[in-house]
Structure 1
Amino acid sequence: MKYDVVVIGASAGGITTAISARKFYPDKSVLVIKREEVGMIPCGIPYIFGTLGGVDDDILPVEKFLKPLGVEILTDEVTEIDPRGKLVRTKSGKEIRWEKLVIATGSKPAKPDFPGGELEGVYTVPKDYHYLKELRERVEEAQRVVIVGGGFIALEVGDEIRKLGKDVTLIVRSRLLRSSFDPEFSEMVEERLKERGIKVVYGQVERLLGDGKVEKVRLVDGTELPADLVILSVGYRPNVELAVKAGLKVTRYGIWTDEYMRTSHPDIFAVGDCVEHRDFFTGKPYPLMLASTATFEARIAGANLFKLQIVRENRRTIGVYSTHIAGLTLAAAGLTEEAAKKEGFEVIVGYGKGPDRHPAKFPDTSMVTVKLIFSRDRGAILGAQIAGGKSVGEMINILALAIQKRLTASELYTLQIATHPLLTASPVGYQILQAAEDALAKLRT
């Protein structure tokens, strides 16, 4: 078999690459190879425990996206990439030739190596249908659930399990959502979680205890927490094994790519969690793993497979996040104030706060807090953080574009906006403009 384009992986990055390839090169044949018969929507996984009815409500409809476009799908596992022969070999014994290859193999959960990790009742949160089915059943049977981690997945899973009436404890080494938010936002979400009955314990796990099955979590300070089930949510690692075996350039952060997502082999591209990302401001590599980032990279790769059609001016990546935990929506883009200062930026911070409807008597009104971080030298925006209701989920996209285009506080202050009583904050008190105004006043002192 031979195809013009072969994509390894069928999650957000792989699917989007195939779609883009077909739309930009309709005369090219495209094959997507997926390892799992049933794929999951990664960002929806935490909600299988509460909001959704179960694992089957979070299935990724790969065929629905790809088959109408004429993309072929093969369920098999790629075991080897041969760059010289331009072919891949699969577990079932197939050899498939390609003109262009895209690696979209994603990531897998990191698993700490402290003692007791092999006990029954200890789980991670992978993107694996059958594994998650089992985990969902074990959660139903458990009463005391301990989650190790303070990131997005840990908090989202904990909040969803709490909805089942379970006793949930989070073990956090530092503070909640530290890499994406400054302390005041961490405090907001911690307060909200505690109001909902979730315990937050600060410390480091020494070992898991139990006779065959996990019964307790012991911390370094000697504290022991009873547990019927332990979920380890301490991050993910890029799936780079195929790339390493193929001799491609790989760093500790993932597969190296240029600004058009080409690897060290000119006809092999890579996108998504398996790729090394570089910070928009500093250029330093960092472990960013987001479906939104994967699809952005996939569109770049898909459009530029055979010729450069979409020019990418800056190959660096802006981390743009949003989550909804215990009724509170949190979103962030770019650098935190802490991170900006650590990198040596002299910063000015502006705040805006107010209801996201006007008048605030509408039943779905929520208070929104916006924090914007600007460089003092020219007033360029470096980062943004927002907390409030669901309107926050789109507000952060405005600020991500502002960061990408390097807008200043003055330009944000004069941003022209549409408002409506049922949909947005008042034009008099629009929080992004408030925060820009607050920063401008400080810049002029």
Structure 2
Amino acid sequence: MKKRKLVMIGNGMAGVRTIEEILARGGAAQFDITVLGDEPYGNYNRILLSEVLNGSQDASEIFLNPLAWYRENGIQLHAGVRAQAVHRHSRQVTGEHGIVEPYDNLIIATGSSPYIPPIQGVRLDGGELKPGVFVFRSLDDCNRIAEYTRGKRSAAVIGGGLLGLEAARGLQNFGLDVHVVHISGHLMGQQLDATAGAILRTTLEQLGVKVHLNRSTKEVLGEDHVTGLRFADGETLDCDLVVISAGIRPNVDLALRAGLTVERGILVDNHMRTPDDPRIYAVGECVQHRGHVYGLVAPLWEQGKVLADHITGHNARSTYSGSKVATKLKVMGVQLASMGITEPTDERDEIVQFLEPRKGTYKKLIIRDGRLVGGILLGDVSKAAYLIQAFDKDTPLPEERLSLLFDIGAPSGKTTLEEMPPEMQVCNCNGVSKEDLVACVRSGERSLRTIMDATRAGMGCGACKGLVSEVVAWACGGAAEQDPSASYYVPGVPLSKPELVQAILERGLRSVSAVFRELAGGKEDPGSKPGLASLLRILWHHEYEDERDARFINDRVHGNIQKDGTFSVIPQIPGGVTSAAQLRRIADVVDRYHVPLVKLTGGQRIDLLGVKKEDLPSVWRDLDMPSGFAYGKSYRTCKSCVGTDFCRFGLGDSIDLAVKIERHFQGMETPAKLKLATAGCPRNCSEAMVKDVGAVAVEGGKWEIHVGGAAGAHVRKGDVLCVVDSHEEVLTLMGRFIQYYRENARYLERTYGFVERVGIQKIRAVVVDDSEGIAARLDEEMKKTTEAYRDPWREAYSPATPNQFRSVLPIVQ
């Protein structure tokens, strides 16, 4: 049978998900498929753009369908080609660069675009956005925003909806003062009522975001770049960049020019077909069905399934009847579930409500005739799965309303999961139902990791991972398997850390290539090389055979690479104490090498940002200061407070101890970065209690040693390991803990995760009480490590490789 030609305009989440559904129904045997997409990439998860902007995920990690997927499925992708016209009579799509694609069936999946309000000063005279004005909708938008933030101090987000708050979260990562400007009286008006919006505002402000409500922006200030905003009341706000997130508009221009019926979106029937042309379908945010336009992913997945059923003939009776909109998500780390209406609209409406503002918890249900018609859960979403199910299925609710909000006398989890309907969605981001997860288990998958990879459940915003895990465990009868690779120290060598260490020591493997040759069948995995190099340096000290290609670029050139390809240079400043001579040398280097940004770091050091790769050796020589190791998975620095010399509260000499710590542990390789601090009294001005390892002076000339603290994206007060009497004991016990951590932590596992996983009681027993009789060995290994220290910036005088600091390699003719 001759295949039909299927062309899809649009390469976004809804469209490509529809193609996946078509392939799952045997579509590859029916169609030759061609896709035109504006962006030069495969399909990626737009829900995670804020994760890319805030740095918690790399852009490569959010791709749902990389370019290889299209090739593997026989799909022709015109990436970076905008469709220009649909010629219905000749059944052709024309695109940029002279592309012409005939079709038998056409799917329009053009999505939506950010709405830019008619604000004075948004655009330059030529019509382009003023420098400093951005929208937040694509990977390219993320890159442009990240590039522009360099050297900027503050940003404003116009729009307090979901996308606006996600943009604000991302902007905070760049150290900017972030303002959210919202025209309404409360945030997220589509999902929240005024009470929930007020609680969310308080939470955001506690996170450092400044919220401006009831503010209508009339002008973006600045002649040739953004300098601020002017509001309708005449007030102004200084800012260096503006992100507009004022809603979206369906992309319907192509359909309009093709003569298709368009209102708010492209009109479709219950089969997702346009009423004007039975050969043309439409799906996603560009579509209007029964008067509704949907922006959440769950309805779009439902549309894609119906379209696939109909176009392939798999189920000609399949129909789309619209969607009841419910969602469960995270907003700046705050758990939220919302469904239906947010305020009563009928005199029969009954409200069930619970409010605990201090804890950021709010629950509100709107019940009509014994059925749920609306709900908001903020902070505590433990009842979300049950309530979303009740809302979606319109099931009668129990008379005991309190049980709707709290698990009072609740049935066991097993009973609850058994009663969950098979079609109930567990992962809204990727449209994965309980039935999908159960089917995956029945197909032979038994581990959470492999089931998530196969179904994509839990790989969107992440809010559903707990429920996904519960459903998988239930479907496996409590016998879910641990994915073996989850215990591997690095993915390319199938051994846990103890097994890997034992094999390396027994076989005397001193290089990364030797490990791959002996323990991985000779197959090298590039992603595993940095972890192996780190482990080998820990095990062999100066006997490690250094293969520079096994190191990450930061470790090869001893500087932190920046997004423009330049490097950050941070010299060692022990205890944060410097001198006039050092400052003069730093200033001379800044002038001599035209360093664009000089910044004080949180670790009490000075960061020179924007140094060219080829200038690194000269910069190090002129500084004449040791490396601060701000680029490696290693000991970084030790902060200190003023201590006893000047502070009237000081109980211990924190500066002297910090300098000793820095000299002792400098440059030490560790599974993940280590940040230390000393505090001269329990006031903790240097934040020693929330560092990986900290020492705090207490009464009687003693020092508390704290371990496993964190104060970044993860916040944790460290546990007290022990109390000692002297600086020497501090160094000994700190070193013993660090060595135990080096030997037993997973690669990239910070101390806060390690301490929580192993337990402070176990660590204290081993490190302080020597319960396993290994204290002397740990001390000896630490001694070997400290004696093997070498300042890597000495490579300024003797490079490790001829091309170590060359930006471009010479051409050999």
Taking structure 1 as the reference length, what is the TM-score of the superposition?
A: 0.80
Q: Which moved more, 1:63-72 or 1:187-196?
A: 63-72
Quote how far apart the aligned CAs of 1:214 are: 1.1
1:227-266 matches, within 5 Å, as 227-251=239-263, 253-264=264-275, 265-266=277-278
Given that 2:134 and 2:141 are in contact with CA atoms closer than 8 Å, whether structure 1 keeps it comes out as no
Match of 2:207 in 1: 196
Matched, 1:95 2:89: no
Letter in 1 for 2:270: E
Q: What is the alpha-carbon distance in structure 2 between the residues aligned to residue 335 and residue 64 of structure 1?
A: 42
Q: Which has the higher strand share?
A: 1
> In structure 2, do the counterparts of structure 1 residues 386 and 116 end up closer, same or farther at CA, with 3 Å as the change threshold?
same
Quote how far apart the aligned CAs of 1:347 are: 0.7
Q: Which has the higher helix share?
A: 2
Deviations 1:262-292 (CA, angstroms, capped at 9, x unpaired): 11221211111101145xxxxxx35431233
Q: What is the alpha-carbon distance in structure 1 between the residues aligned to residue 3 and residue 233 of structure 2?
A: 59
1:15-164 matches, within 5 Å, as 15-26=16-27, 27-29=29-31, 30-39=33-42, 40-53=44-57, 55-63=59-67, 65-75=69-79, 76-118=81-123, 119-127=130-138, 129-164=139-174
Deviations 1:145-199 (CA, angstroms, capped at 9, x unpaired): 0111010011111123224321011111111001211122111210100111111
Matched, 1:330 2:336: yes
Quote how far apart the aligned CAs of 1:6 are: 1.7
Q: Which moved more, 1:150-159 or 1:411-420?
A: 411-420
Q: What is the alpha-carbon distance in structure 2 between the residues aligned to residue 258 and residue 36 of structure 1?
A: 29
Q: What is the alpha-carbon distance in structure 1 between the residues aligned to residue 399 and residue 258 of structure 2?
A: 47
Q: What is the alpha-carbon distance in structure 2 between the residues aligned to residue 87 and residue 412 of structure 1?
A: 60
Given that 1:15 and 1:65 are in contact with CA atoms closer than 8 Å, whether structure 2 keeps it comes out as no
Count, aligned residues? 394
Q: Which has the higher contact order (CA 8 A, sep 6+)?
A: 1
Match of 2:223 in 1: 211
Letter in 2 for 1:208: V
Q: Which moved more, 1:130-139 or 1:405-414?
A: 405-414
Pairing partner for 1:291 from 273, 297, 320: 297
Q: What is the alpha-carbon distance in structure 2 between the residues aligned to residue 412 and residue 312 of structure 1?
A: 38
Matched, 1:350 2:352: yes
Tell me, what secondary structure is at the counterpart of 1:157? helix
Quote how far apart the aligned CAs of 1:295 are: 2.0
Match of 1:374 in 2: 367
> In structure 2, do the counterparts of structure 1 residues 88 and 326 end up closer, same or farther at CA, with 3 Å as the change threshold?
closer
Matched, 1:166 2:176: yes
Given that 1:16 and 1:298 are in contact with CA atoms closer than 8 Å, whether structure 2 keeps it comes out as yes
> In structure 2, do the counterparts of structure 1 residues 18 and 272 end up closer, same or farther at CA, with 3 Å as the change threshold?
same
Given that 1:55 and 1:132 are in contact with CA atoms closer than 8 Å, whether structure 2 keeps it comes out as no
Letter in 2 for 1:19: E
Larger Rg belongs to: 2
Q: Which moved more, 1:19-28 or 1:231-240?
A: 19-28
Q: What is the alpha-carbon distance in structure 2 between the residues aligned to residue 3 and residue 374 of structure 1?
A: 49
Given that 1:3 and 1:31 are in contact with CA atoms closer than 8 Å, whether structure 2 keeps it comes out as no
Match of 2:717 in 1: none
Specify every segment of 5 or more residues in structure 2 that has no aligned partner in the other structure, as ranges.
124-129, 405-409, 415-465, 468-813
Letter in 2 for 1:272: G
> In structure 2, do the counterparts of structure 1 residues 347 and 83 end up closer, same or farther at CA, with 3 Å as the change threshold?
same
Letter in 1 for 2:352: G
Q: What is the alpha-carbon distance in structure 1 between the residues aligned to residue 229 and residue 302 of structure 2?
A: 40
Quote how far apart the aligned CAs of 1:56 are: 4.6
Q: What is the alpha-carbon distance in structure 2 between the residues aligned to residue 206 and residue 353 of structure 1?
A: 36
Letter in 2 for 1:388: G
Tell me, what secondary structure is at the counterpart of 1:304? helix
Given that 2:30 and 2:312 are in contact with CA atoms closer than 8 Å, whether structure 1 keeps it comes out as no
Taking structure 2 as the reference length, what is the TM-score of the superposition?
A: 0.45
> In structure 2, do the counterparts of structure 1 residues 314 and 12 end up closer, same or farther at CA, with 3 Å as the change threshold?
closer
Match of 1:178 in 2: 189
> In structure 2, do the counterparts of structure 1 residues 345 and 286 end up closer, same or farther at CA, with 3 Å as the change threshold?
farther
Tell me, what secondary structure is at the counterpart of 2:196? helix
> In structure 2, do the counterparts of structure 1 residues 346 and 68 end up closer, same or farther at CA, with 3 Å as the change threshold?
farther
Deviations 1:311-341 (CA, angstroms, capped at 9, x unpaired): 556622222233323431112122212xx41
> In structure 2, do the counterparts of structure 1 residues 367 and 229 end up closer, same or farther at CA, with 3 Å as the change threshold?
closer
Letter in 2 for 1:371: K
Q: What is the alpha-carbon distance in structure 2 between the residues aligned to residue 226 and residue 4 of structure 1?
A: 54
> In structure 2, do the counterparts of structure 1 residues 217 and 352 end up closer, same or farther at CA, with 3 Å as the change threshold?
closer
Q: What is the alpha-carbon distance in structure 1 between the residues aligned to residue 400 and residue 288 of structure 2?
A: 31
Tell me, what secondary structure is at the counterpart of 1:266? strand
> In structure 2, do the counterparts of structure 1 residues 399 and 263 end up closer, same or farther at CA, with 3 Å as the change threshold?
farther
> In structure 2, do the counterparts of structure 1 residues 367 and 109 end up closer, same or farther at CA, with 3 Å as the change threshold?
closer
Q: What is the alpha-carbon distance in structure 2 between the residues aligned to residue 59 and residue 138 of structure 1?
A: 24
Match of 2:326 in 1: 320
Tell me, what secondary structure is at the counterpart of 2:389? helix
Given that 2:41 and 2:67 are in contact with CA atoms closer than 8 Å, whether structure 1 keeps it comes out as no
Match of 2:413 in 1: 419
Quote how far apart the aligned CAs of 1:384 are: 2.0
Q: What is the alpha-carbon distance in structure 2 between the residues aligned to residue 107 and residue 412 of structure 1?
A: 43
Q: What is the alpha-carbon distance in structure 2 between the residues aligned to residue 97 and residue 19 of structure 1?
A: 21
